[in-house]
Amino acid sequence: MSGQFDIITLIALVVAVAAIIKLRSVLGHRTDEDEQRVERLKTREREARQRAGPESGSADVITMPRRDRDVPAPAATAETLTANAETRIKAYPATDPAVTAGLLEIAKLDPALDPDAFLTGAGQAYEMIVSAFAEGNRRMLRDLLSKDVLDGFTAAIADRESREETVDQQFVGIKKAEIIEAELKGGVAYLTVRFASELISAVRDKTGNVISGDPQTITDVTDIWTFCRDVSTARARSDLNWRLDATQAPN
């Protein structure tokens, strides 16, 4: 048995050694096709490095191809900005020529002035202020009103709260907003806007009874508000926020 086992083992070893030698000869042999494949790979790598350029300091950085026509536009000059502002202002349909003149005067200090963009922002501020006043949200009002107007609004809220009254209000929307006055005084721009809006509003006493207004009826409301913004210096103009500076009743 032991002699038979030794012969079988020897034969198995010979076969294994022969297989290993054959496998190594096959794996280690490189054909002409393999050589061509390696050369093509090396050529692609060289071309990729050349496209990346000398500034590509890391293999982890991928340099995007650039086109010669993608040249940054030159910075706009002050004259160009002013001309663009004049075009926007003259395109705004002001009902009073004095409004156009006032807007042009403001644009001399603030060439970024755009009447249409201002009205969009003023309309958003109008809705926020009207809603914040109804809710008694002093914090929101503080960010949108000048000091004098804020004092008047907070006093009215405190008076309402002292009577334990609440306001039920729903802002329906603005039907029309137009700039009716524009003025520059001491480096401060003042723009007055007439808002024609729709509200549903009712005041309730502490028991919940309606004492004024109607919670079921849409009411037309007209407000004339003046917004202000310091445009005297570049630093002042960096603050793009306008604040409500005055309110008045319509004529």
pLDDT tens digit sequence for 19-30 = 445 444 444 444
Q: Predicted confidence band at 83 (pLDDT cuts at 50, 70, 90)?
A: confident
pLDDT value of residue 56: 41
Distance spanning both ends of the chain, measured CA to CA:
125
Q: Which amino acid is at 115?
A: P
Give how far the C-alpha of residue 145 lies from the chain's centroid of Cα atoms, to the nearest Å. 23
Q: Predicted confidence band at 64 (pLDDT cuts at 50, 70, 90)?
A: very low
Query: What backbone phi and psi angles, to 5 degrees, belong to 225?
Result: -120, 140
Average pLDDT over residues 239-250: 93
Give the mean pLDDT of the chain.
81
The CATH fold of domain 93-248: Nuclear Transport Factor 2; Chain: A, (3.10.450)
Q: Predicted confidence band at 6 (pLDDT cuts at 50, 70, 90)?
A: low
pLDDT value of residue 40: 59
Q: How far apart are CA 78 and CA 94, in angstroms?
A: 25
Q: Which residues of 169-195 are buried (b: 16+ CB within 10 A; e: fewer)?
A: bebeebeebbbeebbbeeebbbbbbbb
Average pLDDT over residues 207-227: 96
Listed range (38-52, 175-189, 207-221, 232-246) with the worst mean pLDDT: 38-52
pTM of full prediction above 0.75: no
Average pLDDT over residues 121-130: 97
Q: Predicted confidence band at 49 (pLDDT cuts at 50, 70, 90)?
A: low
Q: Predicted confidence band at 10 (pLDDT cuts at 50, 70, 90)?
A: low
Nearest in space to 223 (alpha carbons), one of 186, 195, 200, 246: 195
Q: Predicted confidence band at 39 (pLDDT cuts at 50, 70, 90)?
A: low
Q: Is the pLDDT of residue 178 over 90?
A: yes
Q: Is the pLDDT of residue 42 over 70?
A: no
pLDDT value of residue 23: 43
Q: How far apart are CA 160 and CA 191, in angstroms?
A: 30
Listed range (30-44, 147-161, 226-240) with the worst mean pLDDT: 30-44
Average pLDDT over residues 124-128: 97
pLDDT value of residue 82: 76
Cβ neighbors of 126 (< 8 A, separation 6 or more) are: 174, 177, 193, 195, 197, 223, 225
The domains of the chain are located at: 93-248
Q: Is the pLDDT of residue 217 over 70?
A: yes
pLDDT value of residue 65: 36
Cβ neighbors of 188 (< 8 A, separation 6 or more) are: 228, 229, 230, 231, 232
